[in-house]
Structure 1
Amino acid sequence: MSRRWNELTERQRWALGVGSGLQLALLAAALIDLRRRPAAEIRGSKRMWAAIVFVNFAGPLAYFTLARRR
């Protein structure tokens, strides 16, 4: 069931805003790190990871946990 913005409670709007902000922050951090990090320090191709980080929360979290070499 989908609702319109004006049908949401104040608490639901706040939670949606916080969740969206967090998702955008993770996306931005992953893209910035991917751009600055040399290709030799990343498992797989940069192009592949750039596509993966756009998948909700899972993409950036996967990038930070799986893609970066120590």
Structure 2
Amino acid sequence: MAEQMKWQDLEPSRRAGVVTLAAVQIALAVAAWRDLARREAQDVRGPKPLWAAIIAVNWVGPASYFLVGRRRHA
């Protein structure tokens, strides 16, 4: 089994990349939770508590919420 790399073993550019991706992921989740909280229940496909939990799943959750979870009105 491969040995796990430690944070201090990463090159500075890789550390910056990890921090940047983490910040983007967190910002996307916060934006999704904020939108969910402000949106009326009838404007969400499915139960809001379920979407709140789904949003917590990595990149997939917020992307799924924005692509599928919100109802769009014409």
Q: Same fold (TM over 0.5)?
A: yes
Match of 1:59 in 2: 61
Runs of 4+ in structure 1 deviating by more than 6 angstroms, as ranges, are none
Structure exhibiting the larger radius of gyration computed from Cα positions: 2
Provide the aligned length of Structure 1 versus Structure 2.
70
Report Cα offsets for 1:14-35 as digits up to 9, x if no partner: 1100000000000100000000
Q: Unaligned regions of 5+ residues in structure 2, if any?
A: none
Letter in structure 1 aligned against 2:14: Q
Aligned mates of 1:41, 1:31 — CA distance in 2: 14
Q: Unaligned regions of 5+ residues in structure 1, if any?
A: none
Q: TM-score, normalised by structure 1?
A: 0.97
Percent identity over the alignment is 41
Are 1:38 and 2:58 counterparts? no
Q: TM-score, normalised by structure 2?
A: 0.91
